[in-house]
Amino acid sequence: MKTRTLGNGLEVSALGLGCMSMTSAYGPAADKQNMIWLIRNAHEKGVTLFDTAEAYGPFSNEELLGEALQPIRDQVVIATKFGFDIDLVSGQRGAGTNSRPEHIRAVAEASLKRLRTDRIDLFYQHRVDPNVPIEDVAGTVKDLIAEGKVKHFGLSEAGVQTIRRAHAIQQVTAVQSEYSLFWRGPEHELLPALKELGIGFVPFSPLGAGFLTGQIDENTQFDASDFRNFVPRFSPEARKANMALVEIVKAVAQRKNATPAQVALAWLLAQQPWIVPIPGTTKQHRLEENLGAVEMDLSDADLCLINDQMSLIQVQGDRLPESAMKMTGL
């Protein structure tokens, strides 16, 4: 497995593993023992970056990852997140965010226990809290780093000015936001700023929440608990219109003797050497397929062709429901 470096020296596998779907968001939780096996198998195949959050479940995803990685803890990088208003005992979610310093500290302690570890390698603020200055957030994480409980600081779905303010207090190692051929918003302001500041980028939903795999069309039925039921971009009408984008990826995949998912991930890897996508899966064959993208070579001609053809398509539908969009800084 090839490696990449995020920010100030955090070396990780070129592809990480997003673990959210193992317990939530895309339907019912997968079988726990199967997921433990999948996580450990991912490590055997070279994956070293594993992404979770207290909010996934809540709590059950961190617990799963903690059990799975305990035997190989010193060989992996664990990224988790704080920032939502979640009761640390009941798991009851409040209405919004909570990044008060005392809450960040309490979340860190609870996450350490669930993850069965003595340090969090990468601690992201999950969403920016409009009620807490980012300087206070960065300062709290800086203290946790000084205490050895956290190794690196990250931000998720934060705007450029917020990133700059945080970075001035505590060096930001990585920013996590959605980025793929299905959503290219970060290219306008975020990626140039990260390059300037020397911050790594960890795209979530690098396969467009599954759409870029070519396995979804306007007739696909999602489980009742699947979040895509509530995403404008995944309405049947939007899916039908957006299939033009998938057809471009499929055509490249056919020429390259690859899969659409591999083309989509290879395209992301080709954008910058400090980009580390974290595709998620609950299936072994999908894991192997995704990892194959690391060895895939897209030429300059391939990349130009993709960009030229994509520029002719206007993706239909917002990437998140309106209520969720209000919680991002993008």
Active site residue 26: no
Catalytic residue among 26, 56, 124, 179: 56
Tell me how far apart the alpha carbons of residues 276 and 270 are, in angstroms, rounded to a whole number: 10
* CB-count exposure of residue 121 (10 Å: 0-12, 13-18, 19+): buried
Q: Examine residue 321 and say whether the peptide bond preceding it is cis (omega within 30 degrees of 0).
A: no
For the record, the structure tokens of 294 come out as 């690391």
For the record, the structure tokens of 268 come out as 């992301």
Q: How many CB atoms lie within 10 A of CB 253?
A: 19
Cα separations (Å) of 75 from 40, 42, 70?
11, 12, 10
The catalytic site residues sit at: 56
